[in-house]
Amino acid sequence: MIGVFDSGSGGLTVLNALVEALPEESFLYLGDHARAPYGDLDNRHILSHTTEAVDFLMRSGCRLVVIACNTAASVALRTIQQDWLPRHYPHNRVLGVLVPMVEALAGVPWHRDHPHEDDILRYRRVVLFATSKTVESRAYLEEVNKRAPGCSIIQQACPGLAGMIEEGASESALQEAIAGWTAQALGGHAGEVPDAAVLGCTHYPLVRHLFGAALHPETQILSQPDLVAEALRDYLRRRPDFSGAGQGARSIRYLTTGEPGRLHGLARFMQHLPGQFSRTSL
């Protein structure tokens, strides 16, 4: 069973892609809605909450956990992988959503942490929309620059957007907010059309159409859920010991630390909520 964790409901965009790409795998989704959004927390609490959630999923039988939250992955993933995991679950693994996107932007695999002279630059201008914490971490900026220094990234924080989506804000309010952040990001770059846009929060694909309306038609919006699903499928090919394929009937479960009834605001962003949430404590 594979665990998928997000501070709230944005990780459902990743889970949906994983479910489609890996039809024989079982999944356990955990949304920490009671303490969301993480983008408003300090780094100490983000690390503590993320570690607690990963521990819960591993105690629940997940040997592999995907942190489907850019804020948590940017702030906490490295510490969890390098310090906490070897001490507590040395035979388990934790992956994040940041690595596949960095690989896509840089055009090289993650283990290539420096450029080669024969590398072909795929994207020269990129605009990144993310939570304030993801922007402050500079994780995308630094990791892409190591591998593709010719790629220029404009970072734009969208404070409160994940919360607006969770709470079911009106289409007009979301459209106005996204148009404002897009204008702010590109205001000093008149005439320069970004080659690509990164929706660097897993909530943001739920309003992808509004980002598309605010951006230039030639700007490609990269799909983080699809990239993560492709990366995990490749990982399981290389590490089949972490796959649950063929180990009984498939199951997909949904847990929240919050109140399941309050998640109805998401219904209009998705064709259907993928399953019934059950409440849990960590």
Backbone angles phi, psi at 29, to 5 degrees: -100, 135
Q: Report the CATH number at residue 13.
A: 3.40.50.1860
Nearest to 104 by CA among 140, 154, 139, 132: 140
pLDDT in tens, 159-214: 999 999 988 899 999 999 999 999 999 997 777 899 999 999 999 999 999 999 99
Are 107 and 214 within one domain?
A: yes
Are 105 and 213 within one domain?
A: yes
DSSP secondary structure string, 99-154? HHHHHHHHTS-TT--S--TTPPPS-SEEEEEE-HHHHHHTHHHHHHHHH-TT-EEE
DSSP secondary structure string, 11-27? HHHHHHHHHHH-TT--E
Domain span including residue 110: 100-223
Which pLDDT score is estimated for 1? 95
Which pLDDT score is estimated for 86? 98
Whether the CB-CB separation of 116 and 155 falls below 8 Å is answered with no
Active site (annotated) includes residue 201: yes
Whether the CB-CB separation of 194 and 154 falls below 8 Å is answered with yes
pLDDT in tens, 70-81: 999 999 999 999
Has residue 268 got a pLDDT over 80? no
Are 65 and 38 within one domain?
A: yes
How far is the CA of 173 from the CAs of 108, 168, 204, in angstroms?
A: 38, 10, 14
Active site (annotated) includes residue 69: yes
Mean pLDDT of the chain: 92
Q: What is the 3-state secondary structure (H, E, C) of 139-168?
A: HHHHHHHHHCCCCEEEEEECCCHHHHHHCC
Backbone angles phi, psi at 47, to 5 degrees: -65, -45
Are 117 and 56 within one domain?
A: no
The confidence band for 274, taking pLDDT boundaries of 50, 70 and 90, is low
pLDDT in tens, 12-51: 999 999 999 999 999 999 999 999 989 889 999 999 999 9
Domain count, the chain: 2
The confidence band for 267, taking pLDDT boundaries of 50, 70 and 90, is low
pLDDT in tens, 206-253: 999 999 999 999 999 999 999 999 999 999 999 999 998 878 889 999
Q: Which of 62, 69, 151, 158 is catalytic?
A: 69
Q: Which of 62, 151, 158, 201 is catalytic?
A: 201
